[in-house]
Amino acid sequence: MTAVLNSVFYNDQYTACEHAFDTTRKSALIAASLLERRVRSVNIADPAGSKKETEALLRRLHEREYLHAVKTGDNLPLAQSQGFTWDEGVYTMALAHNTGLVAATDAVLLGGDHWAGTLSSGLHHASRSSGSGYCTFNGLAVAAQRARDHGAERILVLDLDAHCGGGTYEMTRHLGVVQIDVSTSSFDWWKPDTDDADSDLDFASPEQYLPRVQRALQRATRLGPWDFVLYNAGMDPFNTGVRAGMLRWRERLVAEWAARQGVPIVVTIAGGYTWGDVTMEQLVGLHRSTFEEFAAAA
């Protein structure tokens, strides 16, 4: 019997910029942990082969002036609109995180994997014309466009990061993507368009967190079947009081839901921070739980 390997994409360009922050550093530590202490069936893969296609998608989805600013630093306020001090590596870093989404999308839609992951963050708040909230380019919009180019019609963005995905909603409206978002913070709040009865943004307190996630999955089931699902698996609800055990349970619910639906799903790590007394070791453990639960459910 051949072992099925699920790719989790990462390369050292994910940490290419000088600005040191969880979003620009944690992927290297998660990759090191996944290499040192293997998760069954998970294979760390280099997404570099998808870089050219990703740049072409970024040109379709983001405004030219904004891309130019991040590439060159010519317009510093725009180049730094995500909140990082600019250097040339910011473009390299953000492109790499987006490339991981494209490689993972290709792995599930062309390669036949049921799920694929990427250690990408800094995505869902970015809009067409600027960055926001540590997000430079919107890899979720990029992956949705890639999936549409591959023929996927019913596309779901499931965003369980602590913060809302207003940037993604803005950037994927033209694709008719359905967005189901459960948040614990109102940052980047969005409201479904009047002609969009399917998308939904819900807020949850730590006590109500898992029931709200379950409700979101029930909604996703009702609105299915889906051709492609993007899961923004932020661990930052931990920074707003949701416990690690509940977040592991959340990952199990989503992974088992995806396996039951038999839908190709791409998982990206999204938010999660060493704020307060949260250590990097804890944060790495939280993000590992995503891949451990997806590997177990497959």
Judged by the rule CB under 5 A, the positions of this chain that interact with Zn ion are 161-163, 234, 236, 271
Closest chain position to Zn ion (CB): 271
Give 11 or 130: the residue with its C-beta nearer to Zn ion. Answer: 130
For residue 78 the two structure tokens come to 């725009």
Q: Whole-number minimum distance, CB 141 to Zn ion, in Å?
A: 16
Q: Under a CB-based contact definition with an 8 Å cutoff, are residues 179 and 157 in contact?
A: yes
Residue 278's φ and ψ, nearest 5 degrees, are: -75, 125
- Please name the helix (run of DSSP H) or strand (run of DSSP E) that holds residue 219, with its range, or none: helix 209-223
Q: How far apart are CA 67 and CA 54, in angstroms?
A: 13
Burial of 222 (C-beta count, 10 Å sphere; 0-12/13-18/19+): exposed
Q: Whole-number minimum distance, CB 212 to Zn ion, in Å?
A: 16
Q: Whole-number minimum distance, CB 188 to Zn ion, in Å?
A: 8
Q: How far apart are CA 192 and CA 222, in angstroms?
A: 18
Residues ≥6 apart with Cβ < 8 Å to 249: 210
Q: Whole-number minimum distance, CB 158 to Zn ion, in Å?
A: 14
For residue 54 the two structure tokens come to 């990703």
State the sign of the Cα–Cα–Cα–Cα dihedral 27, 118, 261, 157.
positive
Q: How far apart are CA 7 and CA 105, in angstroms?
A: 11
Q: How far apart are CA 122 and CA 161, in angstroms?
A: 11
Give 162 or 220: the residue with its C-beta nearer to Zn ion. Answer: 162
Give 240 or 261: the residue with its C-beta nearer to Zn ion. Answer: 240
Give 93 or 108: the residue with its C-beta nearer to Zn ion. Answer: 93
Give 209 or 226: the residue with its C-beta nearer to Zn ion. Answer: 209
Give 50 or 290: the residue with its C-beta nearer to Zn ion. Answer: 290
Q: Whole-number minimum distance, CB 176 to Zn ion, in Å?
A: 25
What strands lie across the sheet with 200-203, from one edge to the other?
42-45, 6-9, 115-118, 265-268, 228-232, 155-159, 178-183, 200-203
Give 161 or 251: the residue with its C-beta nearer to Zn ion. Answer: 161
Q: Whole-number minimum distance, CB 227 to Zn ion, in Å?
A: 26
Q: Whole-number minimum distance, CB 134 to Zn ion, in Å?
A: 8
